Structure 1
Amino acid sequence: MQWLKLLSLGLSMNTRSFLQDLDPRSKLIFAATYLFLVACSNDLASMVLYAISGFLIVFAARLPLVYLWNGLKGLLPLLLALFCYHMLLGDMKHAAILPCKFIFFILTALVLSATTAPTKLADGLEAVMRPLALIRFPVHHFVFMISVAFRFIPLFVDETDSMLKSQKVKHARDQDKRFRTKIQSLLQLLVALLVAALRRANQLALAMDARCYLPGNKIRARRLQFRWRDWMVIFSALVLLLIDILLKGAIGKR
């Protein structure tokens, strides 16, 4: 099923691009700023601005177009449903804006995960969220859970794909399956995935216990530090924020 391609977010590749060697903190700051502005915008002029920015991001990442298309192909039914729903309501503005927002979100996630190794992404996220430790938020535990979930995404995708293929082979002769049979097959798939997730969680817990894992007891092989490229990316995020403010101010005066 093509919607599984959306879950290839845990895979990183060496694209030898401008974004590959950036500090993960700068990429996270830019991505958070970009997605926040996309989520808060509801005018076509802003969507054109973010489309140009997204094109520049994809061009700088040097990702294969097939990889991006596989990530977006599973969204086509949802995008078409949103477009048709708002067209039926007569709201042509949101019929064009909402699908664009979903595309920008998915493309940003694909670029960020493809150009950043999971370990670097976890270190950058922990560094960005470190001020929350002042209010006793468990930053290290939260980042650890996110990084583990991120690493297990490709494994669960492969397991789900293999289970779906085995179900197709098992019910290949049943051309006229009833609705009850389809529901039973779906429940069997969900139960099998739940059992697989619990089994892998148990194996991970035993491995961590055997290696005497302690929260916060982590030695980094390489310290994070900003370079001129990282400051340029943060400056680009500020410029994008300023342009958005000026653009909304100009639209508000009309």
Structure 2
Amino acid sequence: MINFNGDIVASHTQLSIFNRGFLYGDALFETVKVINGNPIFWEDHYFRLMASMRILRMEIPMNFTMEFLQDEMARLIDAEKLEGTAQRIRFTVFRDAAGLYTPSSNNIGYVITSNTLDSELYHNKEGDYEVELFKDHYVNQGMLSSLKTTNKMVNILGSIYAKENGYANCILINNEKKVVETLNGNLFLVKGNVVKTPPTPDGCLKGIIRKQLLLILEKSEEYSLEESSISPFELQKADELFVTNVIQGIQSITKYRKKTFDRKVASDLLVKLNARVRLGI
């Protein structure tokens, strides 16, 4: 089942072929982890969505409060009888209007979908996790690249490249050949006691878990935080590399080209991240 503009309907319900999200990628989405009915880091998700809608000049309905959207997610979970489980909720907002490139209005519609997750807390999964640099296409620097729009062609092509070549993930670079992020999350690099991640002006997503780790690292006495550009040459000199997103939490990279990496700092930060998750549930 899905929540389509407030109506709980069958999951095979079809959007119009004239939907602007389909025709032009004129849509945004948030992926939220819900544990026992509680969307974790929900305030961060909500304000990121509102800021993104303003940037794209979408008309934000008066009833689009944090409480309303949380209730809309809860209604879907209740309808599917999934209470007491961990859920991956995708909240997609699209401009619901006719027109070509120029929309006839800035009104919006939304769709909410859900999938059950195996675990409530985050785990740094064991096993090989090899990555490679994706150089066929670049992420453009600028504000639009930091938004979660449905225009993800670079990520799609990078994912196909990774699958065809046996990689778990790929690292994306921008038009100035600076490291931006991975296909499905933000990238962190560890060298000694310095933990470094690309700044958002380089084109990376304003990730929810990225923000949580920045808050953790800013208060840490063990590690020094740097938000600064990363050159591809730095990757093989790092002690650790890891990926973050709201569904996986933290995933250590084990190999990049001929270099293998430790996972000590990532595992340490994961404990601190899970402590924040527990506070939210």
Q: What TM-score do you get using the length of structure 1 for normalisation?
A: 0.24
- TM (norm. structure 2) is 0.23
* Higher RCO (Cα < 8 Å, 6 or more apart): 1
Bigger radius of gyration among the two: 1
**Higher share in strand:** 2
Q: Which has the higher helix share?
A: 1
